[in-house]
């Protein structure tokens, strides 16, 4: 039975985790081309932290239901929808937020069946990191077998997904940065060949040493600021750098027009949410590849910690502390 109201996570003013509140809201109704999903859980992303703080570009004005990654069950179809079938457990990503709620409306083409082997927590954390990593590596980064890849923030959701997909897709040497010995050890188990503690080591020097001064073929960058600036020194001539975010909240003045023709590198960036809205065929290709290697056992979603809905502020603090390896997940109780 579908209730009339639900809990939805919102904030009414920008600030710290203390501004997060569970509001009672009407359960949404699916429109044409949409499905209604009873949520099992959602992931907490860096985008959520930045939206809450008021520093995420393009975010709507509060209040609005937060969240981008989801896992749940299809319970109703809007007009014109034939699938996924009612009762299907799905995962997905909503570009305009709205997943941090007990009931969710989404476009039918934005959610995908969950492989049976995955737990709800793993399913909730699958969407944005693995689909972003695949698109960044394959579509934007044009990864070729045997190439050398530098992956920053490799213990996070995106970074850990990227390291795994690098190996699944035949990369050669994978150089991974992280901020503690514990994180580096975990990243090495995911397939990183060389690990760099960015708090004590200069990743540029390590890259030059490992590649005999040549530089890497591809940099996967999601931090911004000084990390992005210094990553230009790691790319070989005619190599590529793909930027998918800026968890530091900072840009860099290093990128200039001259950067492109002085070094001969290709620099690209994208947001998965834009592709979901405007280039769904590219996202569909990523879904197909990710589910294929997932079924083969070549990758596995990492869950760092699972929180209850009433502990959402703690979940934000936990992610902001940069101590997690994998995704920060909130699960709803299932009756």
pLDDT at res. 87: 97
pLDDT at res. 3: 95
For domain 129-273, is the CATH number 3.40.50.720? yes
pLDDT at res. 326: 83
Sign of CA dihedral 165, 161, 58, 97: positive
**Hey, is 194 helix, strand or coil?**
strand
Please name every residue paired with 42 in a beta bridge, in sequence order, or none if there are none: 330
Judge if pTM exceeds 0.85. Answer: yes
Count of CB atoms situated within 10 Å of the CB of 204: 16
pLDDT by residue (tens digit) across 158-199? 899 999 999 999 999 999 999 889 999 999 999 999 999 988
Query: For all residues of the chain together, what is the average pLDDT?
Result: 91
CA distances from 131 to 127, 262, 293, 298 (A): 6, 32, 12, 15
Please name every residue paired with 176 in a beta bridge, in sequence order, or none if there are none: 151, 195
Superfamily of domain 5-126+301-331: Medium-chain alcohol dehydrogenases, catalytic domain (3.90.180.10)
At 144, list the tokens. Answer: 């070729």
pLDDT by residue (tens digit) across 132-146? 999 999 999 999 999
| Element containing residue 125 per DSSP (H, E) | none
pLDDT at res. 253: 58
CA distances from 256 to 179, 232, 250, 252, 262 (A): 28, 11, 16, 10, 10
pLDDT at res. 223: 76
pLDDT at res. 254: 58
Nearest alpha-carbon partner for 83 in 120, 111, 42, 47:
111
- Quote helix, strand, coil % in the chain, to nearest 5: 35, 25, 40
Extents of the domains making up the chain:
5-126+301-331, 129-273
| Element containing residue 277 per DSSP (H, E) | helix 272-278
Phi/psi at 15 (5° precision): 165, -155
* Ranges under pLDDT 50 in the chain: none
Per-residue exposure over 180-193, b if at least 16 CB sit within 10 Å of its own CB, e if not? beebbebbbebbbb
pLDDT at res. 20: 98
Q: How many DSSP H helices and E strands does the chain contain?
A: 11, 15
pLDDT at res. 335: 73
- Identical fold between 5-126+301-331 and 129-273: no
DSSP state of 27: P
């Amino acid at each position: 039975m579908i209730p009339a109201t639900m809990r939805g996570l919102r904030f009414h003013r920008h600030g710290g985790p203390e501004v997060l509140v569970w509001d009672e809201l009407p359960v949404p109704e699916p429109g044409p081309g949409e499905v209604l999903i009873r949520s099992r859980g959602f992931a907490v992303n860096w985008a959520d932290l930045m939206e809450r703080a008021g520093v995420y570009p393009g975010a709507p004005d509060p209040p609005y239901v937060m969240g981008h990654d989801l896992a749940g069950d299809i319970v109703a179809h809007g007009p014109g929808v034939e699938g996924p079938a009612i009762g299907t457990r799905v995962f997905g990503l909503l570009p305009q937020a709205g997943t941090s709620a007990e009931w969710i409306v989404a476009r039918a083409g934005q959610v995908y069946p969950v492989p049976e082997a995955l737990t709800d927590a793993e399913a909730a954390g699958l969407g944005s990191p693995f689909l972003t990593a695949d698109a960044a590596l394959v579509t934007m980064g044009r990864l070729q077998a045997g190439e050398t890849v530098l992956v920053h923030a490799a213990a996070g959701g995106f970074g850990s997904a990227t390291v795994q997909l690098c190996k699944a897709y035949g990369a050669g040497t994978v150089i991974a940065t992280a901020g503690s010995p514990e994180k580096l050890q975990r990243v090495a188990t995911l397939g990183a060949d060389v690990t760099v503690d960015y708090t004590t080591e200069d990743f540029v020097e390590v890259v030059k040493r490992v590649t005999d001064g040549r530089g890497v073929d591809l940099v996967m960058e999601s931090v911004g600021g000084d990390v992005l600036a210094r990553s230009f020194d790691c790319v070989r001539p005619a190599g590529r750098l793909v930027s998918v975010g800026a968890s530091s909240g900072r840009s860099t003045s290093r990128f200039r027009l001259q950067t492109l023709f002085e070094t001969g590198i290709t620099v690209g960036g994208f947001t998965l949410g834009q592709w979901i809205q405007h280039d769904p065929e590219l996202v569909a290709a990523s879904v197909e590849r990710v589910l294929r290697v997932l079924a083969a056992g070549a990758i596995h979603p990492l869950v760092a910690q699972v929180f209850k809905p009433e502990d959402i502020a703690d979940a934000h603090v936990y992610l902001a502390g940069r101590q997690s390896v994998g995704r920060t997940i909130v699960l709803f109780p299932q009756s």
